[in-house]
Amino acid sequence: MLECGVADPIVYSSDPGFRQPEPLRLSFARAGKGSGVTRLERLILHPTLKLRLLTELKKRLGCGGAVKDGVLELQGDHRDAVEAELVKRGYKVKRA
């Protein structure tokens, strides 16, 4: 509950039958001279499940990563592999 008495508008689903209402955004961002990060946005999952998905992707791709402000970030350009894995899991993915 928020202080004004209104329920929290963010809803996380751990229901296996839950369908993502909009496609996930998959992008690549480079800041400065670094190798860049692959970003996965608009994923509606409980924060614990986001961490679990991130851990699985990091092990599969052999890279580092983190969840920042609800966005999954993987070190390096892994857009093709991440897109293939998410499509296999039933998500719709749109490259941004």
Q: What is the pTM of this model?
A: 0.78
CATH assignment at residue 35: 3.30.780.10
Total count of domains within the chain: 1
Structural domain including 68 reads 24-95
Q: Which two tokens stand for residue 10?
A: 């963010």
Q: Is residue 36 part of a domain?
A: yes
Q: How far lies 82's CA from each of 20, 69, 75, 77, 88, in Å? A: 17, 19, 12, 10, 10
Vertex 13, ends 44 and 63: CA angle to 5°? 50
Q: pLDDT for 43-96, tens place per residue?
A: 998 999 999 999 999 999 999 999 999 999 999 999 999 999 999 998 999 998
